[in-house]
Amino acid sequence: MIEELAREECLRLLQQESYVGRVAFIAGGRPMVLPVNYVARGDGIVFCTGEGTKLSALRDGAPVAFEIDASRPLYGTGWSVVARGTAREVTDEAELDLLRRGPLVSWASPSPEHWIRIEIEEISGRRLPEA
């Protein structure tokens, strides 16, 4: 039976159990989902990116969804968390300095120029426990 996860458990999974997620957004009037390395703290998710589709679509307050999951197919178990919110480019110099010195390293952008913060407005999760 599927178990609904409490907000606190969703935030714990987001902050401690995954470091690659998928950001879903609208680009050019069409839905897009892309993987990103991220860090989550409090009610926010941050990832870095270079120039391109993600940055153009996300820098000015775009609505987004962000998803993480884990599964154990041999056991028929797993969990997923979906956060919904608003994405904006981080422009505060003090915050950017902290982010650049922090633990987040993008696999796709070795020297990222832009950082995007998603403010979590809603979060939900589900777990399929072992039978």
Could you tell me the end-to-end alpha-carbon distance of the chain, in angstroms, rounded to an integer? Answer: 8
Burial category of 108 from C-beta neighbours within 10 Å (exposed 0-12, middle 13-18, buried 19 and up) = middle
The pLDDT tens digits along the chain (131 residues) read 899 999 999 999 999 999 999 999 998 899 999 999 999 988 899 998 887 777 788 878 899 999 999 999 888 899 999 999 999 999 999 988 888 888 887 777 666 678 999 999 999 999 998 86
> So what's the pLDDT on residue 73?
87
- Please state the domain extents for the chain: 3-128
pTM, full prediction? 0.90
> So what's the pLDDT on residue 126?
97
State the CATH architecture for 3-128: Roll (2.30)
* Amino acid, single-letter form, for residue 47: F
Nearest C-alpha neighbor of 58 from the set 32, 78, 76, 97: 32
Q: 109 is written with which tokens?
A: 């952008």
